[in-house]
A and B are shown apart, each in its own frame.
Chain A
Amino acid sequence: MCRILAYLGEPLPAQNLLFDTDNSLVRQSYSPRMMNTFLNLAGFGMKAWDPASLRPEDPFSYRATTLPSFDRNLGFLSSKLAPTCLVAHVRGVTYSDEAVVADTNLHPFQFAGARVALTHNGHLRQFPRMRYTLVEHVRPELAQRIEGTTDSEWIYALVMSQLDDPYGVPETRELADATAQALRILRSVRAANGIDTSSPVNLCLSTGRALVATRFSFDYGWYPPEDEMLETDLPFVSLWYAIGGEYAQHNGGWQMTAGDPPRSVIIASEPLTIDHSSWLEVPEYSMLTAELTPSGLEFETRDLDV
């Protein structure tokens, strides 16, 4: 199972999010606190938007199949980046003869020329059975761009196919609606193929100015008795957020300072600190949207009834 992290707000060194805290994303990659089974690490990826960089609308991109905890290049880079938006992902795969550990399977996914990136924590059970029905719902030019073997990249292509212009910058509302619509299509395709087992779909999408995240599962609580992921999936896959002024060290610990209106938000599979008191759990079956505006950060939580 994977771990995801997204940040939007004041410029913040990526190193603070990835390495510095006592439950940072890189620490979660080898010592997660909210998973019942261990990770089989298959790589790390991130997109980071920095308004001071060349072509600020394009993010820095980094993907490597090496373990992030031993990746010195990632350490060097993250100490020099202070993005206003970052989406990062640690990929975990269950051992199987069919698992493919490859650069093309690493998140975040972002087709060349597209302005939306996506990460996914979860898995669509029996995905090979539904893949070819899904093709009908994906724009052919986007389907052709799928390079890897993951369900996550197909989810990305499906969400992008719901946008009016897959290569433009969608309004936050349009991106949220496209995500919800993609989940509806997945539900109908699963039903058409007789797939009715638990499939978590925690997504995080970003344009660099906005984030859309889901904490969701299809058929939560239903598993084949011999399923190897059962112990991992029995609890609803976790997702947390911290919102406020800025993420900073305070009295020796990292926390989000108060901010009214808020200026920064972090969304992550697990709180980045062992002390959870400045974090809130995302309600199950819900969607978060956050957008940077001239007056601050606009943030909304809503029930995801798809």
Chain B
Amino acid sequence: MSDGATAGFLSTVPLLEGRNESDIADLARVLRRRTVPAGETLWHQGQEARELLLIVEGAVAASLHAPGGQVVEIGRAGPGEMVGEIALLDGGGHTMSVQATEQATVLALGKADFAALLARQDPATFSLKRRLAALFTARHREQLRHLAGSLGGDEADLAGEDAARTFAELDYCGPPDSRYLRRMATFHDFDPAALWGFLTSGRYARCPPGRTLLAEGAPSTACYLTINGAVEKVLIRRDGRIRVGLAGPGKAFGYEPLIDGLPSPVTAITRERSLLLVLPRGPFEQLFHREDAISRVFLDVIQRDLVATLRQSLRPHARLAASV
């Protein structure tokens, strides 16, 4: 595959839509093409990540290895799709093993080149981050569908309960101590002025434990960031309940419906009394779609959260597979 052919393929990849020809040509030069025979393992779960792969032809399957030798296929990727980026973004090992299910042609993007691609501050990079957020949201929903399927039964009817009232009834309050905010790991890497801009984009609210903030299947009216306390993200069915994540300090929730317009994929209930930064739809959309320093902070917070959420959602998968 020549650089020209690679560039031609890249221009059809939805994730890279909006990149100009020169950007695409630069990217084509750093990608390495490989042909992978059917059955070859591209990497093992837990292995250190050195690259992500764009699938040009063929297909790969991502599988989770659980204790006791259980292996669960979590998803497949085909032409135009990407695998391996989660571990590059958070620096952890690969979340799942990836194997070619048929002969595949792939383009490999190294860790440093991926980091460079995301470090730019041009409109195409903002667009890439928004597309990554949409892609991760779709994957998260897919993972949750798998989990909900294992619970069986119908969704518990929470949509009409607390969640609808909660937003209007939140106990709004002043911002927390800035000395505390500065020490939160979520914000360490951010420019102080831009961070302050983000932290003052919404309102702060106190919430007692046991309050339903979002109901699965219902529309979301706001994105929340936990400042203090903890919020459980759960799937509730008549026959059981699975906790799919815990949003402690610095972790966000409720943003998926604001990104893709679909209903909330989980129910969110405060486990501890909590102090939350509440970003209603209007401010959320402004931050998500603007292209300035504050939006950059915001998109990075959302991206980190989605990456952590995708990892966290694999925990109940592994427990179910191991049946312990």
Which A residues fall within an 8 A CB radius of B?
36, 219-223, 225-226, 230-231, 234-236, 242-244, 256, 258-260, 262, 274-281, 283-285, 299, 301
Question: Provided the pairs A244-B67, A277-B65, A283-B243 are in contact, do residues A225 and B185 lie with their beta carbons within 8 angstroms?
Answer: no
Q: A221 and B68: CB pair below 8 A?
A: no
Which B residues fall within an 8 A CB radius of A?
45-46, 65-69, 93, 177, 179-180, 183-185, 226, 228-230, 243, 246, 248-250, 271-274, 315, 318-319, 322, 324
Interface of B is mostly: mixed
Report B-chain residues with C-beta under 8 Å of the C-beta of A234.
184-185, 248-250
Report A-chain residues with C-beta under 8 Å of the C-beta of B184.
234
Q: B67 and A299: CB pair below 8 A?
A: no
- Choice from B67, B183, B226 contacting A243 with Cβ under 8 Å: B67
In the bound complex, CA of A225 to CA of B46 (Å): 35
What are 6 A-B pairs at a CB distance below 8 A? A220-B229, A231-B183, A276-B46, A277-B46, A280-B66, A284-B246
Most B C-beta atoms less than 10 A away, residue of A220, A236, A242: A220
Question: Provided the pairs A221-B274, A226-B179 are in contact, do residues A262 and B226 lie with their beta carbons within 8 angstroms?
Answer: no
Most B C-beta atoms less than 10 A away, residue of A221, A258, A262, A275: A221
In the bound complex, CA of A244 to CA of B67 (Å): 8
Report A-chain residues with C-beta under 8 Å of the C-beta of B177.
225
Interface of A is mostly: loop
In the bound complex, CA of A256 to CA of B248 (Å): 31
Report A-chain residues with C-beta under 8 Å of the C-beta of B230.
220-221, 236, 284
Question: Provided the pairs A276-B46, A280-B318 are in contact, do residues A258 and B68 lie with their beta carbons within 8 angstroms?
Answer: yes
Report B-chain residues with C-beta under 8 Å of the C-beta of A226.
179
B178 to chain A, nearest CB (A): 8
Report B-chain residues with C-beta under 8 Å of the C-beta of A231.
183, 185
A54 to chain B, nearest CB (A): 35
- Choice from A243, A258, A262, A280 contacting B315 with Cβ under 8 Å: A280
- Choice from A230, A235, A260 contacting B248 with Cβ under 8 Å: A235
The 10 A-B residue pairs whose C-beta atoms are closest, nearest first, are A225-B180, A225-B179, A258-B68, A221-B229, A225-B177, A277-B65, A275-B46, A278-B67, A221-B249, A258-B69
Q: B272 and A220: CB pair below 8 A?
A: yes
Q: B322 and A280: CB pair below 8 A?
A: yes
In the bound complex, CA of A126 to CA of B199 (Å): 30
Q: Which residue of A lies closest to B227 (CB)?
A: A221
Q: B250 and A280: CB pair below 8 A?
A: no
Question: Provided the pairs A234-B250, A236-B248, A299-B324 are in contact, do residues A279 and B67 lie with their beta carbons within 8 angstroms?
Answer: yes
A249 to chain B, nearest CB (A): 16
Q: A277 and B315: CB pair below 8 A?
A: no
Q: B67 and A242: CB pair below 8 A?
A: yes
B47 to chain A, nearest CB (A): 8
- Choice from B65, B67, B183, B246 contacting A230 with Cβ under 8 Å: B183
Q: B248 and A221: CB pair below 8 A?
A: yes
Report A-chain residues with C-beta under 8 Å of the C-beta of B322.
243, 280
In the bound complex, CA of A234 to CA of B93 (Å): 22
Most B C-beta atoms less than 10 A away, residue of A226, A242, A256, A276: A276
Q: B272 and A219: CB pair below 8 A?
A: yes
Q: A280 and B319: CB pair below 8 A?
A: yes
Report B-chain residues with C-beta under 8 Å of the C-beta of A258.
68-69
Report B-chain residues with C-beta under 8 Å of the C-beta of A278.
65, 67
Q: Which residue of A lies closest to B322 (CB)?
A: A280
In the bound complex, CA of A299 to CA of B46 (Å): 26
B323 to chain A, nearest CB (A): 9
Q: B248 and A244: CB pair below 8 A?
A: no
Report B-chain residues with C-beta under 8 Å of the C-beta of A279.
67
In the bound complex, CA of A301 to CA of B177 (Å): 37
Report A-chain residues with C-beta under 8 Å of the C-beta of B65.
277-278
B122 to chain A, nearest CB (A): 33
A253 to chain B, nearest CB (A): 10
Question: Provided the pairs A220-B229, A221-B226, A244-B67 are in contact, do residues A274 and B248 lie with their beta carbons within 8 angstroms?
Answer: no
In the bound complex, CA of A161 to CA of B243 (Å): 33
Question: Provided the pairs A280-B318, A280-B319 are in contact, do residues A220 and B324 lie with their beta carbons within 8 angstroms?
Answer: no
Report A-chain residues with C-beta under 8 Å of the C-beta of B271.
220, 285
Q: Which residue of B lies closest to A219 (CB)?
A: B272
- Choice from A223, A235, A281 contacting B180 with Cβ under 8 Å: A223
Question: Provided the pairs A221-B272, A225-B179, A277-B46 are in contact, do residues A256 and B67 lie with their beta carbons within 8 angstroms?
Answer: yes
Q: A281 and B315: CB pair below 8 A?
A: yes
In the bound complex, CA of A35 to CA of B11 (Å): 43
Q: B324 and A243: CB pair below 8 A?
A: yes
B190 to chain A, nearest CB (A): 16
- Choice from B45, B69, B183 contacting A225 with Cβ under 8 Å: B183
Report A-chain residues with C-beta under 8 Å of the C-beta of B315.
280-281, 283
